Every structure is written in structure tokens, then in C-alpha cells.
Amino acid sequence: MSTSHGAGRLMSRHEARNILSLIAEQKLLEQRNIIHSIRSVKYLDEAASAYKDIDEVMAKSF
């Protein structure tokens, strides 16, 4: 099973790098004990906040 490429994105990569806070995203992951590689703004395009909730995406894909 798969969904369309990009269907889970909440914001574009450019938008994510310009809007999201590096410190806030790092804290969010660390509070959840998630090991991550978000060490600079250039990686914010893959931050969790740049994506929609996976359960919502999957529910709409059927």
C-alpha cells in the first residue's frame, strides 16, 4: 500500500525551512525520545511538523 508522493506534506520544503524553529523541532523530538539528525535549519524540511498526521493521510488514501 502506498500514497501519492508528497500527499503527507503539510508545507513545502522551502516553507518548512523558513517557518519552523530549529530549537522547537529538536525539543519536540527529544521530548519523545526520538533520535534525529536535525542539527541545522537545512534539515527542517524533513521535520515532523512539516508533515500531516500519518493516520489522517492513510485514512484518506482508501
Q: pLDDT category, 5, cuts 50, 70, 90? A: low
11: Cα within 13 Å, side-chain hemisphere? 15
Spans of all domains in the chain: 13-60
Distances 57 to 42, 45, 49 between C-alpha atoms, Å: 25, 18, 14
* Contact in structure between 30 and 22 (CB atoms under 8 Å): no
Longest dimension (CA), the chain: 36
As a whole number, mean pLDDT of residues 20-39 equals 94
Three-state DSSP class for residue 38: coil
Q: pLDDT category, 54, cuts 50, 70, 90? A: confident
As a whole number, mean pLDDT of residues 4-25 equals 89
Q: What is the pTM of this model?
A: 0.75
